[in-house]
Amino acid sequence: MKVAKFGGSSVADGTQIKKIGNIIKEDTERKFIVVSAPGKRHEDDVKVTDLLLSLGESFIRQDEYQSFYEQVMERFKEIIDSLSLSEKVFEDIKRSIDDVLYGSLDHDMKIEALKAMGEDSCAKIVGQYLVSIGLKSQYINPKDAGIIVSPEPGNAQILPESYEKIYRLREREGILVIPGFFGYSEHGDLVTFSRGGSDITGSIIAAGVKAKLYENFTDVDSVYTVNPNIVKSPKEIKTLTYKEMRELSYAGFSVFHDEALIPAFKENIPVCIKNTNNPTAPGTMIVSEKEPTK
Ligand code: ASP
């Protein structure tokens, strides 16, 4: 069984989500799917998570929040329409966001819950889309998946007792679509990981279900020896060790969250960085040991 995590650019619009459908169809071992919130569609675009944050902050300040609210709804409506999903999917998402926004949570918890709505809504959409293309699939909430975390807003840490429950997800039928970026405290409060934390959820699920591979789908073919935005045709790196990858992450390298390697590393699960836009490219493998090369 494999865990496949799709980042923000891979779920940015309906066209990208259709690519995910093809990727999942191609390999029946891809049973656990973790998704980010819709990211930027072009350079000047705004990530849904940032829109949700602005929405929450302006609502709490009793400022003009309506335009953020509309932008969030438009993003989801557009995706749902382009995937030809039913109006019910949109209504469910809108209801969940309204419940958090107008509900009685205190300010910090409201921001936490709103921030998570990007991933949560996206997982519902992807789950329904997979059903619409003939796959057996369901959305799983992180509480139901067993992701129990410390109660530190914006910096949750996984609690060890989570893993036993996550392992039992293996028994569930079909493809499970799990939102990244958040878990629940022992008191039942929603708490988010640090920003970019959907990678962490993917790694936790991979460790918990003892996956044979954790595939992290993003928008580059591989990790390169130099920044591909600065240098043309850079050299690809085929294999990295966990240790090398962590050092790169600490140095500000942004392909993979620095905390995300730990759960996979502890269970010795190989990680593969792959491209949603070019899924046949082999990607970069991150493993515990590698043969030295010339
Ligand atoms: N959506 C969250 C963020 O923008 C988490 C993620 O994308 O991994 O930070």
Note the pLDDT tens digit of each residue in 242-268: 999 888 888 877 778 888 999 999 999
β-strands 175-179, 30-35 pairing: parallel
CB 179 within 8 A of CB 122: yes
CB 182 within 8 A of CB 191: yes
Q: What angle do CA 82, 84, 87 make, to 5 degrees?
A: 110
Atom of ligand 1 nearest to the CA of 7: 7
Cα separation, 207 vs 170, in Å, equals 12
Q: What is the pLDDT of residues 160-171, one digit of tens each?
A: 999 999 999 999
Question: From the CA of 181, how far away is ligand 1's center (Å)?
Answer: 6
| 181 Cα nearest atom in ligand 1 | 5
What DSSP letter does each residue of 192-235 carry, written as one string? E-STTTHHHHHHHHHHHTT-SEEEEEESSSSEESS-TTTSSSPP
Residue with CA at minimum distance from ligand 1 atom 5: 196
- Mean pLDDT, rounded, of the chain: 96
Q: Is 281 helix (H, G, I), strand (E, B) or coil?
A: coil
Ligand 1 atom 2, closest CA: 196
189 Cβ neighbours under 8 A, 6+ residues apart = 109, 112, 151
The CA 61 to ligand 1 mean position distance, Å, reads: 24
Q: What is the pLDDT of residue 229?
A: 86
pLDDT digits (tens, 9 = 90+) for 107-129: 999 999 999 999 999 999 999 99
Return the ligand 1 atom nearest residue 8 CA: 7
Pick from 5, 6, 9, 47 the residue to mutate for probing ligand 1's pocket: most ligand atoms within 8 Å of its CB.
Answer: 47
73 pLDDT higher than 80: yes
Is 179 touching ligand 1 by the criterion CB < 6 Å? no
- CA of 216 from ligand 1 middle (Å) equals 14
Residue 140 binned pLDDT confidence (cut-offs 50, 70, 90): very high
User: pLDDT at position 227, please?
Assistant: 85
Residue 197 beta carbon below 6 angstroms from any ligand 1 atom: yes
Tokens 């409201």: give the residue. 110
Residue 9 pLDDT class (50, 70, 90 cuts): very high
Q: Structure tokens of 257? A: 């969250």
For 28, phi then psi, to 5°, come to: -70, -10
CB of 180 sitting under 6 A from ligand 1: yes
pLDDT recorded at residue 101: 98
Is the pLDDT score of 279 beyond 80?
yes
The pLDDT of residue 282 is 95
With vertex at residue 289, the alpha carbon angle to CA 167 and CA 147, rounded to the nearest 5 degrees, is: 20
What is the average per-residue pLDDT within 49-59?
98
Residue with tokens 């509309």: 70
Share of the chain above pLDDT 90, in %: 90
Region 192-198: what's the mean pLDDT?
97
Given pLDDT bands bounded at 50, 70 and 90, which one contains residue 149? very high
* Nearest ligand 1 atom to alpha carbon 197: 8
Please indicate whether residue 202, judged by its CB atom, sits closer than 6 Å to ligand 1.
no
Q: What's the gap in Å between 36 CA and the centre of ligand 1?
A: 6
